[in-house]
C-alpha cells in the first residue's frame, strides 16, 4: 500500500483562487512520479465570499473540520473592498496559527537559477538560507493600552511577552534545522543593546541552547546590522532565528533579496505534529491582478514542495524545486509578466507539472 496523505486545500481570495489549482497540479504530478497518494479536500471558507454569506471568515467548527488533515495548503486571503484586511487576517490565518499552535514560521531564501536577484554580483547558489520566525508571542502580544487619553500626558504602552517555553521551542526548532544542514551555522537576531529586558533574555536562552548543540556554530547579530548584511553579504547565512517582529521583517526582506516575493514560499509549522501545519506563498491575494490569469504560481508550487518535505517525502520535494528551477531558467516563453515573460498562471503551472512528470 502506498502512503496516503490527507490535504485540506483552501483557495481563499483573489489570485489564491488561481494559484492553488496550479500548486495542486504539481503536487499531483509529484505524487504520481514518486508513488504516494494525495487525498485533497477543498474548503470554501477563509474567503470574502464566506464572510458575506455568514458574517464570519470561518465556520464555528473549523477546528474539527481541519484538525484531522495531515496538512493545509493555503492560497491567500484578503479582499479589502468587502472585508477590512485586519478582519480577514485575524478571522482566518491567525486563528489557524493559534488554534493549531503553528509556532514556527519558516521561509527559505534561495536564489534560483533563472531568477535575477536585485542585489548586484549574486548568482544562483550564492544565497541559500532559512529564516525561522517565532509565530505566537513576543512583540505581537496585544498586551498594553492607552492612558491619560486626550490629555497632553497621553501615553501608550505595548508589552513584549517572552515565555521560556515559547522562546525555547522556536530556538530548538532552529538549532535542529541547523544541525541537519551541511554548514551547521545558526545566527540569532537580537537587539539586546537597545531592548534591555526582553532581548537579553532571548540571548540567554539562545546561548544556553547553543551549549546543547556543540556541532552547530552559533552567533548573534543585532537586527539593524543583520538587515544590512542580508543585503551586503547574504551568502554568509545558513539558519537565522528571530522573535516575532524581527522575524516578520527579515522574512520579507530575505525573499526580496532572492528575487521577487511572487515566487517565495512559507510554512507555518507545528513541529510537535499535534495539529496540521499550513503551507502558503509569501504573497497576498493581489486584487490588482486577480482574475486575469497572469499571477505567478511559483510561490504556491514551492510552498507545496515545503509541504511534501514536512510530510516526509523529501525526494518529491526536491523534484518539485528542481522542476521549478529548470522551467524558470530554460523556458522564458512560459514565464508570467512579473518575471518578464508573456505567459499565464496555467501555462507556467502546467510546464512545471510536466517537468516533474518527465524527470520523476
Pick what 262 binds: ligand ATP, Mg ion, none; C-beta below 5 to 8 Å, kind-dependent. ligand ATP
Name all contacts of 53-62 with Cβ < 8 Å and 24+ positions apart: 56/91, 57/83, 57/87, 57/88, 57/91, 57/92, 57/95, 58/91, 58/92, 58/95, 62/95, 62/99
Neighbours of 359 (CB within 10 A): 11
**Minimum gap (Å) between residue 18 Cβ and ligand ATP:** 9
Least distance between ligand ATP and beta carbon 296 (Å): 3
Out of ligand ATP, Mg ion, none, what residue 295 binds, judged by CB under 5 to 8 A for its kind, is: ligand ATP
Check residue 284 for interaction with Mg ion (CB under 5 A): yes
Closer residue to Mg ion in complex, CB, 284/347: 284
Cβ of residue 13: shortest distance to ligand ATP, in angstroms? Answer: 9
CB atoms within 10 A of CB 131: 28
**Which residues, listed in sequence order, are joined to residue 298 by a DSSP beta bridge?**
none
Q: Which does 338 bind (CB under 5 to 8 A by kind): ligand ATP, Mg ion, none?
A: ligand ATP
Tell me how far, at minimum, the Cβ of 287 lies from ligand ATP, in Å. Answer: 7
**Nearer of residues 130 and 283 to ligand ATP, judged by Cβ:** 283
CB of residue 65 to Mg ion, shortest distance in Å:
26
Q: Evaluate whether 157 touches 144 at the Cβ level (below 8 Å).
A: yes
102 vs 285 by CB, closer to Mg ion = 285
Say if CB 171 and CB 223 are below 8 A apart.
Answer: no
Number of residues that bind Mg ion (CB under 5 A): 2
CA distance 101 to 140: 15
Q: How far apart are alpha carbons 102 and 274 in whole angstroms?
A: 10
Q: Ramachandran region of residue 12, left (φ > 0), alpha (ψ -120 to 50) or beta?
A: left
What residues line the site for ligand ATP (CB under 6 A)? 15, 78, 262, 283-286, 288-289, 295-296, 299, 338
- In the complex with ligand ATP, the residue whose CB is nearer, 187 or 251, is 251
Contact 264, 107 (CB under 8 A): yes
Partner interacting with residue 58 (select from ligand ATP, Mg ion, none; CB below 5-8 Å by kind): none
CA distances from 262 to 136, 259, 288, 303, 345 (A): 25, 9, 14, 12, 12
Binding mask 232-271 for Mg ion (x = CB under 5 A): ----------------------------------------
| Distance from C-alpha of 305 to C-alpha of 352, rounded to nearest angstrom | 12
Contact partner, 152, from Mg ion, ligand ATP, none, Cβ < 5-8 Å per class: none
DSSP-derived letter for residue 263 is G
Cell numbers given for 297 = 504560481
Q: Which is nearer to Mg ion, 264 or 308 (CB)?
A: 264
Judged by CB under 5 A, the stretch of 109-117, 206-214, 282-290, 332-340 that binds Mg ion is 282-290
Q: Which residues bind Mg ion (CB under 5 A)?
A: 78, 284
Amino acid at each position: 500500500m502506498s502512503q496516503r496523505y490527507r490535504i485540506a486545500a483552501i483557495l481563499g481570495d483573489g489570485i489564491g483562487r488561481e494559484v492553488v489549482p496550479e500548486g495542486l497540479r504539481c503536487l499531483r504530478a509529484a505524487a504520481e512520479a514518486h508513488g504516494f497518494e494525495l487525498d485533497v479536500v477543498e474548503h470554501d471558507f477563509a474567503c470574502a465570499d464566506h464572510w458575506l454569506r455568514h458574517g464570519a471568515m470561518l465556520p464555528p467548527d473549523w477546528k474539527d473540520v481541519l484538525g484531522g488533515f495531515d496538512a493545509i495548503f493555503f492560497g491567500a486571503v484578503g479582499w479589502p473592498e468587502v472585508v477590512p484586511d485586519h478582519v480577514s487576517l485575524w478571522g482566518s490565518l491567525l486563528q489557524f496559527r493559534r488554534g493549531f499552535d503553528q509556532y514556527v514560521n519558516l521561509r527559505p531564501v534561495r536564489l534560483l537559477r533563472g531568477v535575477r536577484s536585485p542585489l548586484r554580483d549574486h548568482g544562483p547558489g550564492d544565497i541559500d538560507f532559512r529564516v525561522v520566525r517565532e509565530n505566537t508571542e513576543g512583540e505581537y502580544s496585544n498586551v498594553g493600552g492607552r492612558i491619560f487619553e486626550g490629555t497632553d500626558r497621553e501615553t501608550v504602552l505595548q508589552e513584549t511577552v517572552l515565555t521560556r517555553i515559547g522562546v525555547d521551542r522556536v530556538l530548538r526548532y532552529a538549532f535542529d534545522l541547523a544541525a541537519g544542514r551541511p554548514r551547521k551555522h545558526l545566527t540569532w537576531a537580537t537587539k539586546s543593546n537597545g531592548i534591555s529586558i526582553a532581548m537579553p533574555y532571548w540571548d540567554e536562552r539562545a546561548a544556553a541552547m547553543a551549549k546543547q548543540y556543540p556541532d552547530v556554530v552559533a552567533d548573534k547579530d543585532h537586527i539593524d546590522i543583520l538587515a544590512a548584511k542580508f543585503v551586503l553579504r547574504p551568502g554568509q547565512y545558513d539558519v537565522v532565528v528571530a522573535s516575532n517582529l524581527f522575524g516578520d521583517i527579515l522574512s520579507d526582506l530575505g525573499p526580496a533579496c532572492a528575487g521577487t516575493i511572487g515566487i517565495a514560499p512559507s510554512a507555518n509549522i507545528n513541529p510537535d505534529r499535534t495539529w496540521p501545519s499550513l503551507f502558503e506563498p509569501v504573497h497576498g491575494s493581489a486584487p490588482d491582478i486577480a482574475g486575469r490569469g497572469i499571477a505567478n504560481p511559483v510561490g504556491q508550487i514551492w510552498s507545496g514542495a515545503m509541504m511534501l518535505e514536512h510530510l516526509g517525502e523529501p525526494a518529491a520535494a526536491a523534484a518539485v524545486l528542481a522542476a521549478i528551477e529548470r522551467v524558470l531558467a530554460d523556458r522564458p516563453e512560459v514565464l508570467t509578466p512579473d518575471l518578464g515573460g508573456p505567459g499565464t498562471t496555467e501555462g507556467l503551472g502546467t510546464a512545471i507539472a510536466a517537468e516533474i512528470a518527465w524527470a520523476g
